[in-house]
Each structure stands twice: as C-alpha cells, then as structure tokens.
Chain A
Amino acid sequence: GQSLEQPSEVTAVEGAIVQINCTYQTSGFYGLSWYQQHDGGAPTFLSYNALDGLEETGRFSSFLSRSDSYGYLLLQELQMKDSASYFCAVRSQTGANNLFFGTGTRLTVIP
C-alpha cells in the first residue's frame, strides 16, 4: 500500500521561509508531487520531483531524496495568500497506478 505522512499544521510569519516535509512509503515510485489547496477551492499542482535534488519554481522549491523516501516543499518570502493546505502526492507503479495524496499540511501565514 501507500502512505504519505506530513505535519498537520505549520504556522509562519509573513516574509519568512517555511519547509513542509513529506515521508512516504509506496510500492514503486514515479516521483513526488506537491499540490496547494485554498479553503473552498480545488487542489492545484505546484511541482514535481522525479529525481533526487531540488527543483525551484519562483518562491517555491521542492526537494526529493529517494533513498530516504523523503521530500519537502520550501516556501520563501511567505505571503498571506500562501495560507492554504499543502499535499504531497505519489503515483504507485502497482496495478492500481493511482495518484495518492498525503495527509496534508495546513499552513497559516501570520503578519
């Protein structure tokens, strides 16, 4: 089966940097993705790591270590609008080949 664990809540100050961790267990592995979901909205894709290392997209970066089954999302220069839930996700290579989401991290940015 698959399991993806994230901290349930994180609070950070506007302008600061915050890291959201994800540890996963999965049968087969295509890569780790990150999604953002604002209250009342739909999840939207942020980033994807297939290989080890850091991927940077503007203020957001994502890191993957396949040997550690671990990744994180790094948000820099936090803005109030970054307050949302963040999910890591993996695709399984087993028969289901489905896209599985982590438990989600609620990020609150405070002034």
Chain B
Amino acid sequence: DTAVSQTPKYLVTQMGNDKSIKCEQNLGHDTMYWYKQDSKKFLKIMFSYNNKELIINETVPNRFSPKSPDKAHLNLHINSLELGDSAVYFCASGYLRDTEAFFGQGTRLTVV
C-alpha cells in the first residue's frame, strides 16, 4: 500500500534514555516532516527535509535530530529523553510548496 508509515506506534521509556522513531514514505514525495502534537492538540513543526536540505524549527532542542538515509526515509532520534517530550509525534510527506501533506499514523511517546 502507498502510505507514510512510522514505527513504533507506541513507545514508553524512562527519562534519560535515547530512542528513535522511524518513518518511511513510498509516495515519491520530495519533502518529509516531523511534527509534535501535545496534549492540547497543537501540531508543531519540528523539522522539514527536502533534497538533503534540513530546515529546523529553532525552538526544537538539539536533543532531537532527524536522520535521512534517503529521500524516502526520515527518522527521528531523541537523546536524553525528558518528561516534557511525552507527546504524539507525526511524520508526514508532501511536495515542496504543496500544502497537502500525508501523515503517518503517529507515535505516542510516553516518558516516565
């Protein structure tokens, strides 16, 4: 099936750990994103990645780092997890300058 898929769907981990979330799209899109959705449902852009150009939202802590082995994958690595990192993280893909983005199912991260 053509889609944006991210794994895992749920992730429970302890403070201070390092974790990764994987994302893959087979839609042929040239741009991928990571969003954080908090308990108030705000969808906050964290990163976008287009043709090896990474755009970072300046408010994102440097404990968060995206890694893209190729244009179909954009993984999210998080170091030294904190309680405030608990949220749902969405990967998405689309075409540059297009406002239609396709979202993955989300990863619910809980830091305890």
Interface residues of A (CB under 8 A from B): 30-33, 37, 41-45, 48, 85, 87, 89-91, 95-101, 103-104, 106
Contact = CB atoms under 8 A, between A and B. Distances in A.
Contacts of A45: 100-102
Interface of B: 33, 35, 41-45, 48, 50, 55, 57, 90, 92, 94, 96-106
A97 B96 contact: yes
Contact of A33 (B42, B99, B106): B99
Q: Which of B35, B42, B45, B50 has the most CB of A within 10 A?
A: B45
Contacts, number: 64
A104 B101 contact: no
Contacts of B41: 37, 85, 104, 106
A95 B94 contact: no
Contacts of A44: 103
